[in-house]
Amino acid sequence: MRHLLSTRDLLREDAIGLLDIAEDMSEVQNREVKKLPTLRGKTVVNLFFEDSTRTRTSFEVAAKRLSADVINFSAKGSSVSKGESLKDTAQTLAAMGADGVVIRHSASGAPQVLAQSGWIDAGVVNAGDGTHEHPTQALLDAFTMRRRIHGDAARGRDLDGVSVMIVGDVLHSRVARSNLWLLETLGAHVTFVAPATLVPVGASTWPVDIRYDLDVALAEVRPDVVMMLRIQQERMNAAFFPTTREYARQWGLDDERLLALRPDSIVMHPGPMNRGLEISSRAADSAQSTVIEQVANGVSIRMAVLYSLLSGDREARS
């Protein structure tokens, strides 16, 4: 694998292979010394043009646990704030000998431009681009589901027949899109539940069941997994719902809806959470919640991705 830009491009066997490698990486995290020498001498650049805590830190920890050298690049306070283009930034990193670039950008498609431009000969990982995709988040979500559902027998397994309900701001969510493509590849059935104003144009052509009433959807589908999405107010330039109180009442996972779920249902959230808006504190902190597991599993998945991209001879794979 040379780049990871989208889950839509992943074949079933490649996706399962990454999840299985992540199983190996998760075992490393249980050791006293949580390090492997695999990427010693390699340089990974975290190129973040948007604010991030979880994703950037997770990639940094993942690279360091594989013994790579890590450079954290933030657009704020850099030459980008002075008008430097993505091309000039990429060529600067290439001159410094970057082997891998983890990029988050507000413009959809920026990682693909970087990967295909020829500006830099490095593996490119999409850490979130606009409202397009966030592939490592989808991989860690699938990894978390697989572990919860299959337990110790998870290795080599897919998610065939698993029912996943994704609720909330689908319109602005790159997580929802990446999860849809990956879960569909792994055999799961996906349902979107959202206000009509927060459903993307053209979503009716996607391999997903779209619903607008959360209570009816929960009662009829009885999902194995309920994934709540954050309301991305920073991306909203219009009123997509009357008030936050109205949204919480109609589409939030409150205590009453939590109790209505099957006892073995899984509650997920990609974070950061708006407690009391899309999810109640009781739901977020319940035994059914995987929020903390998702953070831990994110390191394992990102170790697996960096290992797959950067270990071995890049020339032989290019």
d(CA 105, CA 47): 8
| Tokens, residue 15 | 């996706």
Residue 137 annotated as part of some ligand binding site: yes
* pLDDT number for residue 315: 43
Q: Which of 128-137, 200-209, 231-240 has the lowest mean pLDDT?
A: 231-240
* pLDDT number for residue 312: 66
Residue 41 annotated as part of some ligand binding site: no
Domain residue ranges of the chain, discontinuous segments joined by +:
12-133+296-313, 135-289
Residue 135 annotated as part of some ligand binding site: no
* pLDDT number for residue 81: 57
d(CA 101, CA 115): 9
* pLDDT number for residue 29: 86
Residue 288 annotated as part of some ligand binding site: no
* pLDDT number for residue 277: 93
Query: Backbone phi, then psi, for 60, in 5-degree steps?
Result: -65, -45
Residue 298 annotated as part of some ligand binding site: no
Q: What is the mean pLDDT of residues 240-245?
A: 86
Residue 64 annotated as part of some ligand binding site: no
**282-305: per-residue pLDDT in tens?**
999 999 999 999 999 999 999 999
Sign, CA torsion 30/31/34/35: negative
Residue 174 annotated as part of some ligand binding site: yes
DSSP, collapsed to helix, strand or coil, labels residue 233 as helix
* pLDDT number for residue 314: 47
Residue 3 annotated as part of some ligand binding site: no
Residue 272 annotated as part of some ligand binding site: yes
Q: Which CATH number is correct for 135-289, 3.40.50.11540, 3.30.1060.10, 3.40.50.1370, 3.40.50.300?
A: 3.40.50.1370
Query: Do 12-133+296-313 and 135-289 share a fold?
Result: yes
| Most distant CA atoms of the chain, gap in Å | 57
At residue 316, does pLDDT exceed 60? no
At residue 317, does pLDDT exceed 50? no
At residue 233, does pLDDT exceed 80? no
Other beta carbons within 10 angstroms of residue 125's beta carbon come to: 26
The reported pTM is: 0.94
Cα–Cα distances (Å) from 223 to 36, 134, 148, 218, 220, in that order, read 38, 23, 14, 7, 9
Residue 132 annotated as part of some ligand binding site: no
Sorting pLDDT into bands at 50, 70 and 90, what band is 237?
low
At residue 75, does pLDDT exceed 80? no
Q: Which residues pair with 318 in a beta bridge?
A: none
Cα–Cα distances (Å) from 239 to 167, 183, 197, 235, in that order, read 18, 31, 9, 11
The verdict on domain 12-133+296-313 having CATH code 3.40.50.1370 is: yes
Sorting pLDDT into bands at 50, 70 and 90, what band is 234?
low
